[in-house]
Each structure stands twice: as C-alpha cells, then as structure tokens.
Amino acid sequence: MKTEALIDLLARGAGAAPKHAVERRLWPVALLGLGASALFGVLVLGLVPMSVMMEANWWFKFAYAVSLVAVGGWLTARLARPVQRLGWPQLVLMTVVAAMGLLGAWHWFTAMPELRLAELLGHSWKTCPRNVVLLSVPPMAAAFWALRGLAPTRPRLAGAAVGLFAGALGAAAYALSCDELSMSFVAVWYTTGIAIASALGALLGPWLLRW
C-alpha cells in the first residue's frame, strides 16, 4: 500500500477532530468510579455515625482524599496525551501531601506523649491501607479502560497517575465508613493505602497501556 493511498483514506470524510476527547472519556469514569467505590464501601463496611461526620477532623480526612482524587485525575488527564506538561499538577500533589504530613506531625507533637502511639495506630491501622486498596479496584479498572482509548506515551507514569486517582477515590469512599479522627493516623495510613494503589498502577501501566 502506498502511504499516499492511506492518507487519502484517512483524510476523506474525516470531518473535525473530536472535541474534548480526554475529558469526555475520563469524566464518566471518575463519576462511575466514585459511585461504585462509595456504594461498595458503604454496603460492605457501613456508614460512620452522623456524630463522627460532624467532627472537623472527619472533614479534613475527606478533603484530603478528595484533593488527591482531583490531582490524580488531573495528572491522568495530562498523561493521557502524547505531550505532557506535569509541572502544576505535580506541584499541587506535593503541596497536598506535604500539608497532610504537617497536619499529622502537628497532631503527633501536640498529643500527650503517652497517647501518641495510640493516636497514630488508632484501632484499625492494620486494615485501613488494605481497605483503601480494595476500594480502589473498581475505579482503577474503569480508569485503565478509559486510558486505553486515549494516547498515553509514558505508560508507567500514566499507570501511577491512574493508581493515585483510584487510590484516592478508594480512600474517599473508605472515609465514609472509617471513624478514625486522628490526623497522624490519616497522614500515615491513608497515604500508605493510596501509595500502594499508585504503585500497583505503575506496575500495571506498561502492561495495560500498549497501543
């Protein structure tokens, strides 16, 4: 086949390029993923009592997860294109994680020394990262599917971004049924769960994102 013949074929009746191709593919996945994780989490693990949700610390925890969902989605959208500009989203990611780290450290140092370890470990440190990772599975599958229809040229990094996005969604959903209110707990265990999901994404990326 002559390349010119292929070009004729591609150009004929090509019409305009699809608009917002990346956004149109990622948004439904984000909403679906959030719904699936939240539903799954609440059905299996139950919802925290209203009194817990009235606490400011619960909202800090939830806001942390939601900010990471946003920045993970942002990174995923940037990495879905062949040329990536990652400066801003990377900066925001580091700021969000650093802010949570500071909050956790502040909580640790202002707590009474004999209570610090109990505050850090809570009653669920063994299950928290695992639950976050488990709840990240549905959005991770959906986000990988969405990205497969786009053009990621750095599959490992794109996979890590998908993992971050899905892990944070998992964390947001898990926050609905987790009554731990210590900021040092959230800074360590939530972050660990999200980091594991992100590492999982980075492992799967080169394998799933071939085109």
Partner 1 sequence: MRDDAGQGEFEFGLKPLWLRAQAGDEAAYRDCLLRIATRLRGYLRRRMQGLPDDVEDLVQETLLALHLQRGTYDPTLPVSAWVLAIARHKLVDLWRRRGRRDDLHDALDDVDETQLVAASEETGTQRDLDKLLQELPEAQRVAIVLTKVEGLSVAEAAQRTGASESAIKVQVHRGLKRLAQRVRQ
According to the binding rule CB under 8 A, does residue 171 interact with partner 1? no
According to the binding rule CB under 8 A, does residue 207 interact with partner 1? no
Q: By C-beta, is 24 or 123 nearer to partner 1?
A: 24
Cβ neighbours of residue 134 closer than 8 Å, sequence gap 6 or more: 170
For residue 81, the minimal CB distance to partner 1 (Å) is 5
**Apex CA 23: angle with CA 208 and CA 68, to 5°?**
75
According to the binding rule CB under 8 A, does residue 114 interact with partner 1? no
139, burial (CB in 10 Å: exposed 0-12, middle 13-18, buried 19+): buried
Total residues at interface with partner 1 (CB under 8 A): 32
Select from 107, 150, 158, 195 the one that contacts partner 1 (CB under 8 A): 150
**Cα 174 from Cα 133, distance rounded (Å):** 10
Select from 70, 141, 151, 203 the one that contacts partner 1 (CB under 8 A): 151
Determine the interface stretch with partner 1 among 81-89, 100-108, 124-132, 174-182 (rule: CB under 8 A): 81-89
Cβ neighbours of residue 125 closer than 8 Å, sequence gap 6 or more: 185, 188, 189
Decide if 137 contacts 163 (C-beta within 8 A). Answer: no
For residue 127, the minimal CB distance to partner 1 (Å) is 39
C-alpha dihedral over 86, 139, 69, 199, to 10 degrees?
-60
Select from 59, 106, 145, 211 the one that contacts partner 1 (CB under 8 A): 211
Residues lying near partner 1 in the complex (CB under 8 A) are found at: 1-22, 80-83, 85, 150-151, 153, 210-211
